[in-house]
C-alpha cells in the first residue's frame, strides 16, 4: 500500500509552505506513524520537530473524538519548516 506521507510528500510540503510553516501529522496506525517518522528523519535537514501541544486551541476532528472516547491517543508529529 502506498502511503501519502513519505519523503516525496515532505519535500513537496516543505517547498510549498511559507517560512516557519508547520505540518501536523496524525494517525491511529502505528506502522504508518513509524513510516512517517522515518520519512521525517530522511528529510530532517528541512524540518524542525516542534511540540504538538503548543497552547493553540484547535477543534478536534471526529476521528480524535472517537479515539479519545476509547481512551486512546493517536500518534502525532508536528514539523516546522527549517529556514
Query: Where does residue 55 fall: left (phi above 0), alpha (psi -120 to 50 degrees), or beta otherwise?
Result: left
State pTM to two decimals.
0.84
More confident residue, 47 or 57: 47
Residue pair 32/4 in contact (Cβ under 8 Å)? The answer is no
pLDDT digits (tens, 9 = 90+) for 19-41: 989 999 988 889 999 999 999 99
Give the residue extent of every domain in the chain. 7-81
CATH fold of 7-81 reads: Rossmann fold (3.40.50)
Distance of CA 70 to the CA centre of its chain: 22
pLDDT band at 1 (very low <50, low <70, confident <90, very high): low
Amino acid at each position: 500500500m502506498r502511503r501519502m506521507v513519505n519523503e516525496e510528500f515532505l519535500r513537496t510540503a516543505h517547498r510549498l509552505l511559507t517560512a516557519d510553516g508547520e505540518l501536523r501529522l496524525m494517525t491511529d496506525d502505528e506502522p504508518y506513524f513509524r513510516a512517517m517518522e522515518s520519512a521525517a528523519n530522511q528529510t530532517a535537514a528541512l524540518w524542525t520537530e516542534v511540540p504538538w501541544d503548543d497552547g493553540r486551541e484547535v477543534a478536534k476532528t471526529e476521528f480524535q473524538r472517537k479515539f479519545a472516547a476509547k481512551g486512546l491517543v493517536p500518534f502525532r508529529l508536528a514539523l516546522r519548516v527549517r529556514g
